[in-house]
Structure 1
Amino acid sequence: MAVQDSGALLVGLLLLFHTWGAWAAVEVSMEDRVEVFRGQTAQITCMFQSDDGVGGLTIQWSYVIRGVERQRIYYQDSTTNEIDRHTRFTDRISVEGNGATGQVVLTIRDVQLDDELDFICQIKSLTDGKGEGLTKLKVFVIPEPPTIEAVGKGISINEEFPSKIATCEVKNGFPRPNITWYKNGIPQYNVPDVVAVLPTVTVESSGLYSVKSVLSLKVTKEDKDATLYCDVSFFVPAETRMFESKNFTITVYYPSTSVNVWVESPKGKIKEGDSVELHCSGDGNMPSSYTIKNKDEEHSDSTWVLENVTRQQSGAYECSSLDTDTYEEMTGTVNVFVNYLDPAVVKPDGPAELAIGAEMMATCNALSSLTTQITWFKDGQEISKGNTLNLKDATVDTAGMYKCVVTAPEIEGMETSGMLEVYVQSPPEITKPDSTDIEETFENIVKLECKARGFPVPTVMWTTSDGKVLKTASQEETKDGVLLSVTSFKVTSDVMVFCNASNAYGTDMVTFNIKATTHTTTSATTTTSPTTISSTTTTISSATVKPETAIPPKRIKKEGSGVIIAVIIICILLLAVLGSVLYYLYKKGKICGRSGKQDLTKEKSNKDNIVVEMKSDNTEEAVLLGVNGEKQPTSDQSGEYLDVQK
C-alpha cells in the first residue's frame, strides 16, 4: 500500500515538473487596456519569450464573446498565417511580426463602439507549452455640452417637500457621462427631505449614452442669492474631462417680517403744490397686497401719488400688507408734513398818497411754517430788507410801485409777493423834448407829443399862438405814471404850439416852434409901368425875371408871431387915425387952400389914396395898405421902391 502511494507521488512529481517546464517555456506579456476614440485605429501588442524558434511556434488571436466564448480572428504557424473569414474583424485587422522578435501587433482599423471587447493573444510551442495574455479595448466618444433648464416660477420656502429646481442633460457620450449638481460651488447629493437628485440614463440607437438629471431642493431664504449649475464628467483616453453648464439663480419667495412705507419724492421737505409719491414694501418677496391710507383717504396699491398737496394732507400715512400665502397682515407708518407759505399781506392795502416832504411806513408779512426772509424792490432794484418799509421826505421820485418778496430759504422756489402803489401829490412836470424847433413842409401834417407827470394825473391842453385849441389825437397813462398826450395838425404857416399841463397843485407848459417851408417858381418876365395917383405919385421900376427860372425855397418870416401881429395891427390903426385927420382937415379947407366943401371923393381912386409900402427884408414881398387899411393890388409889388407924396 505504501509502495503504491510512493509510485503515485513520483508520477505526480514527474508530471508537475513536465508541466512547469512547458509553462516556463512561453511567457506572454500584454497591456491591461488599450484606449481609442471611435473611428480611430487601435494597436494591441503581444510580447512573449520561448525557447523554441519561430518554426516551433503557433500564434493565435481571438476575442471573448459574452465573457466566456472565444472567437478566433487570426492564426499563424511555421507554414501559414491567415485572418479568419466571416468575423466582424475580417476586413479591419492586420497582424505584424512572425514571432522572431518575440512580439506581434494586432491592428484594428475604424474602431466602433461594439469593438470594446477583451482580445486574447495565445502562443504555443512544440513542446506543448503555451502562454496567453489579454488586453481590454476601450472605446470613447466625447458627449455634447450639457444643457440646463431651470423652472420658470418662484419657489416658496413654505413648501413641505423639496421643489424641482432645474434639469441638466448631456447627450451622446461613451462611456456613460456623469452629472453632478452644485450650489454655491458645493456638490449636491441626495439628502432626505432636503436634496433630491434623480438621474435618468438613455441608450441611443447609436449605442451612445444620454443622461438627464433633475435637482429638487427645499429652499430657504438664503437660497434667493444662490448660484446653481451642473457639470458633466466623461472619460477619454488616458484622462477624465468635464463640461460645466451656465450658472443660474432661482426665485425664492419668502414672507415679510416687517413693512416699510416712505416718501419716494420729493427728496427733502415738502411744500404745498408738490406731487408726493409714497411707496410701501415688505422685507419679504412673497406676492402680497398693499393698502396705503391716511385719516381721510385710502389707496389699494404699493405706490400712491398725491397731486398738488395742501397742508390739510399733512399727517400719518399707514401701509398694511397681506401675505397671500400665510394671510398674515403687517403694517408700517410714515409722517408727512406739508410746508406752506401764505400770500403776502401788505399794509396799507391800497394805493397810498403822500404830500411832498411827508413820510410813511409800510409793512409786509406772510404766514409760513418755515422761517421767512422779506425783501422790498422798486423798479427791479432792491431797496430794503425786513418786513417794514420806511419812506421819508417824499419827493416826486418817491412815487411808484413797490414790491415785497417773501421767501422760505429752506425750500427752493417757495416764494410769494405783494405790491404797494405810492402816489406823491405834486404839480405837473413836463418832460422837455430834445428839440422844440420843428421844420415841416407847407400843408403837411405834423405830430407832437407831450409827456407830463404829476399827481393827481394832470390835464393836458394843446393851443396855438393865434388862439386856436388843437384837438388831442390820443392820450394814455404809462406804467410809470406819465401822461402821454399826442396832437396833430396841418401846417399852413409858421406857428407856436403850446402844451399846457395842469392839476390842483400847479401848471407847466412847453412851447413848440413850427417853421413852415414852401417852394415857388416864376414862369415869365414881368414889366410894370409907372403909375400916377392924384397928388401922390408912385414910381415903380421894372423888374425882369428870366422865364422858367426857379426861385429857391423861401422861408416865411415869423410874421405870424404874436408880437409882429400886434405891431401890424397898431400900424394899421395909426394909419386909419392919420387918414381920418387928413380927411377932416381937407373938408375944412385947411390943406392946399381948399375948403372943406370940396368933394374929397372925386376921383378918389386916383387922387386921394395914400399908399404905404411895407417891405420884408428877407422875402422882398410888399404889402400895400390904403389910408383905410385896405390892401392894394399886388401887381405893382414886385420889389420896386414906392414914393409917397402929399
Structure 2
Amino acid sequence: MESPSAASRCRRRLPLPPVLLLRLGWLFSALCLRPGHGLHTVNTVYGDTIILPCHLEIPNDLMFGKWKYEIANKPSEFIAFRSATKKNVQYDDVPEYKDRINLSENYTLSINNARISDEKKFVCMLVTEENVFEQPTIVKVFKQPSQPEIVSRAEFLETEQIKMLGQCVAKDGYPQGSLIWFKNGVVMQPVDGTVIIYEQTNVDKASGLYTLVSSLEYKATKDDTDVQFTCTVTYFGPAGQETIRSEPVVFDIHYPTERVKIEVISQKNTIKEGDNITLKCSGNGNPPPQEFLFYIPGEPEPIRTSSLYALIDVRRNASGEYRCSLTDESLMDSIIITVHYLDLSLIPNGEVVKQIGEALPVSCTISSSRNATISWLKDNARLRSIPSFSSLQYQDAGNYICETTLQEVEGLKKRQILTLIVQGKPQIKMSKRTSTDGSYKTVACHVEGFPKPAVQWTSTGGVINKAKETKYINGKFTSKVRIAPEENVTLTCIAENQLERTVNSLNVSAISIPDSEDLEEKTDDNRENVSDQAKLIVGIVVGLLLAALVAGVAYWVCMKKSKEVSGEHEKEAAQNIQNLPRSASKHVDKDLGNIEENKKLEENNHKSEA
C-alpha cells in the first residue's frame, strides 16, 4: 500500500475529469489508496459470526463502499458493494462467501459460520469522487480442541520393562496446541530408557482443524501402583492461553513375587484338638501367584495346591513346622503350629460302692500341652483340698468332680466324676426320756446305716405303728415312739437294710412307779435349762454393770446398810434349813433307783453292739 504522498502524486499524474477519475479509481484502488486509522484485529470462535466494523469515518461526498480480502501472493478479491446514493447492495460471486455475508448501512461486514479459511486480512473501502479510503482488519479464528483422552491404553504395566502406556489425543483444535503428560500431577519429561514421548499432528484438509496425538512409552516400578496418569492440551483462545486436562487413568502394575508368607486362618488365637484350621500361603507379587507347594509334617512329598490348605479335626501330632513355597521352590516361608491338648485321668471314677471304715485311695492326674491346675468339687461345692479317704464315713458319700482347664486355650476343659457310695450295716443305740409333767415317756432308737434301714418297733403288747423319724443325714437318723405304760414293758427296735437286720430292746417302767427314770428325766431337763440359765447370768452381769455406775455415788451408804442386811439374811437362811420338806429324801432314794436302771440299759446296748 502506498503512502499518502504517493497517492497524491498518483492523482497529479492523472489530470482527468471527475467521472473518468471515479471509474479509474476502482481500477487502481489496490495501488493508490487513502489509508485509514491503523490495523484492527477481530478474534472469532469457530462457527460463530464474524463482525467486521469499517472503522472509517463516512465522508459527506461518499459514493459507495466496498469490502475485499487480501491473501499474500494473490490478487485481492472483492466480496461486497454498497452504493451510498442508490442504497443498493451487491455481493460478488465468490463461492467461499456465498450466502454467508451481509453488509449493513454503516458498512459493517458480517460473515456467518466462521471457518478457518476466514482467517485473512479484510479491507473496508470508502470511495468519494476524489479519494479512496481504506481500513484493513485482521481476522483470527479460534477453535477449542476436544478434551484430551488417553486411548490405546495398556492392560497393565510391567516393572523393568518399557512399554507403550497409551496415546493422548486432542481433536479438532485451532490454532495448533500442545500436549503434556503428567504423573500424579507432575510433568513427565523424556528420560532415556524410562520415558519416551512421540508427538504427531494431523490436519483435516476440509476444515483445517488440528488433531494432536502424543504417545507415551514408560517403564514402571512398584511405586507406580495406584498412580494417576493424565495429559493436558494447551491452546490459544480468544481470551488467551487455556488448558484442558484428561480424565486420570490408573494402571495395574505387574511385578514379580519377592516374598512368600504362610499364615493360619482361624477365628481363635489358639488351636486345640478337634479344631479345623486353614493354612494360607501368599506372595507379594502382582498378579499374586495362584499355586504353591505346602510341606506338611509327616507327609513325604510337598502338596501342590492353591493358596489355601485345610486341616480337619487336628490332633496333637499335627503340631510342628509347616512351610510353603512357590512352585519353583525359589521362595519359602514357615510357621510353627501347636495343637493344644488336655487329658485327665480320675482313678477310680464312675460309681464306686465301699463299706464304712474302708480306705479309698483317689488320684486325679493330667497331661497337657501347657501347665494346668486341678480343682475339686463335691456336690457342686468347691473343695479346698484333695479328697483323701483312710476310713470312709457316711458323710464322705457324694458326687466328686475333678476338673482342669487351660486358661490360655478357649474351650479346652476336662472333668471326670466319682460317685462314691458308702454302705454300712445298721447300728442301733436306744435311749428314753420322761416328759416334764411325767405323763409319758419317749423312747428313741438311734440308727446308722446305708442304704437307709427300715425301722420297726415292737413291744410286749405287739407292733407299734406311731413312730416318728428325724431327717436321714450322713447315714444317721432317729426313730422315736411315745408311750405311757401302766406297767413295766419291753420295747424292741428292729433296723434292717440290704446288708443286715439288727435288733435292740429296752425295758421301760410304768409311769406310776418312781424309778431312776425320773432322775434321768430331770437330768435331761437340767441340760435343757443350761442355756436358759446362761442367758439369765449374762443378763444379771449386764444389769450389775449398769447398776455399778449409779451405786458408786452412794457407796458409803450401801456399805453401812449392808452390815444390817447381812445379819437378817443369816437368820432367814437358818430358818429355811430347818423347814426343808421331807420330799428331798425321797428324791435321793429315787436317784439311787435310776442308777440301777441305767446300768441295765448300758448292758443291753453293749449286747446289741456285740
TM-score (norm. length: structure 1)? 0.55
Equivalent residue, structure 2, for 1:503: 498
* 1:315 paired residue among 308, 316, 320: 320
Relative to structure 1, the CA distance from residue 501 to residue 147 in structure 2 (aligned partners, 3 Å threshold; closer, same or farther) is farther
Residue 84 (structure 1) shift: 2.2
Relative to structure 1, the CA distance from residue 167 to residue 263 in structure 2 (aligned partners, 3 Å threshold; closer, same or farther) is same
Using the alignment, how far apart are the partners of 2:93 and 2:175 within structure 1?
28
Query: 1:203, 1:209 within 8 Å by CA — same for their partners in 2?
Result: yes
Q: 1:265 aligned to 2:266?
A: yes
Residue 363 (structure 1) shift: 2.3
Name the amino acid aligned to 2:81. Y
Equivalent residue, structure 2, for 1:331: 332
Structure 2 gaps of 5+ residues are 13-30, 428-447, 456-474, 476-494, 504-610
Equivalent residue, structure 1, for 2:101: 93
* 1:29 paired residue among 30, 34, 38: 38
Relative to structure 1, the CA distance from residue 73 to residue 245 in structure 2 (aligned partners, 3 Å threshold; closer, same or farther) is same
Using the alignment, how far apart are the partners of 2:359 and 2:205 within structure 1?
110
Structure 1 gaps of 5+ residues are 1-13, 99-103, 430-452, 461-480, 482-499, 509-646
Q: 1:383 aligned to 2:392?
A: no
Query: 2:196, 2:216 within 8 Å by CA — same for their partners in 1?
Result: yes
Equivalent residue, structure 1, for 2:65: 59
Query: 1:28, 1:133 within 8 Å by CA — same for their partners in 2?
Result: no
Residue 366 of structure 1 aligns to a residue in which SS? Answer: strand
Name the amino acid aligned to 1:312. N
1:199-210 aligned at under 5 Å gives the runs 199=199, 201=202, 203=204, 210=211
Using the alignment, how far apart are the partners of 2:98 and 2:60 within structure 1?
25
Name the amino acid aligned to 2:38. S
Residue 249 of structure 2 aligns to a residue in which SS? Answer: coil
Query: 1:28, 1:46 within 8 Å by CA — same for their partners in 2?
Result: no
Equivalent residue, structure 2, for 1:84: 91
Give CA-to-partner distance per residue, 1:521-572, whole Å, 9 cap, x none: xxxxxxxxxxxxxxxxxxxxxxxxxxxxxxxxxxxxxxxxxxxxxxxxxxxx
Using the alignment, how far apart are the partners of 2:345 and 2:204 within structure 1?
93
Residue 171 (structure 1) shift: 4.6
Aligned pair count reads 420
* 1:75 paired residue among 69, 77, 81: 81
Relative to structure 1, the CA distance from residue 425 to residue 321 in structure 2 (aligned partners, 3 Å threshold; closer, same or farther) is same
Relative to structure 1, the CA distance from residue 214 to residue 427 in structure 2 (aligned partners, 3 Å threshold; closer, same or farther) is farther
Residue 222 of structure 1 aligns to a residue in which SS? Answer: helix
Query: 1:45, 1:106 within 8 Å by CA — same for their partners in 2?
Result: yes
* 2:51 paired residue among 31, 43, 48: 43
Residue 61 (structure 1) shift: 1.0
* 1:120 paired residue among 120, 123, 126: 123
Equivalent residue, structure 1, for 2:293: 291
Name the amino acid aligned to 1:119. F
Residue 38 of structure 2 aligns to a residue in which SS? Answer: strand
Using the alignment, how far apart are the partners of 1:332 and 1:48 within structure 2?
90
Residue 257 (structure 1) shift: 3.0
Higher percent of residues as helix? 2
Relative to structure 1, the CA distance from residue 27 to residue 354 in structure 2 (aligned partners, 3 Å threshold; closer, same or farther) is same
Residue 124 (structure 1) shift: 5.5
Using the alignment, how far apart are the partners of 1:54 and 1:150 within structure 2?
66
Equivalent residue, structure 1, for 2:310: 305
Residue 312 of structure 1 aligns to a residue in which SS? Answer: helix
Query: 1:26, 1:48 within 8 Å by CA — same for their partners in 2?
Result: no
1:132-143 aligned at under 5 Å gives the runs 132-140=135-143, 142-143=144-145
Residue 361 (structure 1) shift: 4.9
Residue 158 of structure 1 aligns to a residue in which SS? Answer: coil
Equivalent residue, structure 1, for 2:580: none
Residue 93 of structure 2 aligns to a residue in which SS? Answer: coil
Residue 394 (structure 1) shift: 4.6
Give CA-to-partner distance per residue, 1:359-413, whole Å, 9 cap, x none: 655221210121212222334x133256x32358754453233221111111111
Higher percent of residues as strand? 1
Name the amino acid aligned to 1:27. G
Using the alignment, how far apart are the partners of 1:274 and 1:135 within structure 2?
88
Using the alignment, how far apart are the partners of 1:223 and 1:377 within structure 2?
66
Q: Which sits farther off after the overlay, 196-205 or 131-140?
A: 196-205
Q: 1:182 aligned to 2:185?
A: no
Using the alignment, how far apart are the partners of 2:404 and 2:252 within structure 1?
55
Equivalent residue, structure 1, for 2:440: none
Relative to structure 1, the CA distance from residue 72 to residue 318 in structure 2 (aligned partners, 3 Å threshold; closer, same or farther) is same
Query: 2:422, 2:450 within 8 Å by CA — same for their partners in 1?
Result: yes
Query: 1:120, 1:134 within 8 Å by CA — same for their partners in 2?
Result: yes
Query: 1:30, 1:45 within 8 Å by CA — same for their partners in 2?
Result: no
Residue 65 (structure 1) shift: 5.4
Task: Return the index of the structure with the highest Cα Rg.
Answer: 1
Residue 187 (structure 1) shift: 2.4
Equivalent residue, structure 2, for 1:519: none
Using the alignment, how far apart are the partners of 1:374 and 1:30 within structure 2?
109
Query: 2:349, 2:419 within 8 Å by CA — same for their partners in 1?
Result: no
Equivalent residue, structure 1, for 2:370: 370
Relative to structure 1, the CA distance from residue 370 to residue 202 in structure 2 (aligned partners, 3 Å threshold; closer, same or farther) is farther
Using the alignment, how far apart are the partners of 1:284 and 1:223 within structure 2?
14
Query: 2:55, 2:135 within 8 Å by CA — same for their partners in 1?
Result: no
Using the alignment, how far apart are the partners of 2:97 and 2:130 within structure 1?
31
Give CA-to-partner distance per residue, 1:462-487, whole Å, 9 cap, x none: xxxxxxxxxxxxxxxxxxx9xxxxxx
Residue 317 of structure 2 aligns to a residue in which SS? Answer: helix
Relative to structure 1, the CA distance from residue 393 to residue 208 in structure 2 (aligned partners, 3 Å threshold; closer, same or farther) is farther
Relative to structure 1, the CA distance from residue 36 to residue 225 in structure 2 (aligned partners, 3 Å threshold; closer, same or farther) is closer
Residue 137 (structure 1) shift: 4.0
Residue 281 of structure 1 aligns to a residue in which SS? Answer: strand
Using the alignment, how far apart are the partners of 1:345 and 1:213 within structure 2?
81
RMSD across aligned positions (CA): 4.3
Relative to structure 1, the CA distance from residue 404 to residue 309 in structure 2 (aligned partners, 3 Å threshold; closer, same or farther) is same
Residue 58 (structure 1) shift: 5.7
Query: 1:293, 1:299 within 8 Å by CA — same for their partners in 2?
Result: yes
Query: 1:355, 1:426 within 8 Å by CA — same for their partners in 2?
Result: yes
Relative to structure 1, the CA distance from residue 114 to residue 346 in structure 2 (aligned partners, 3 Å threshold; closer, same or farther) is same
Name the amino acid aligned to 1:410. E
Relative to structure 1, the CA distance from residue 304 to residue 148 in structure 2 (aligned partners, 3 Å threshold; closer, same or farther) is same
Using the alignment, how far apart are the partners of 2:329 and 2:127 within structure 1?
87
Q: 1:158 aligned to 2:168?
A: no
Using the alignment, how far apart are the partners of 2:150 and 2:426 within structure 1?
97
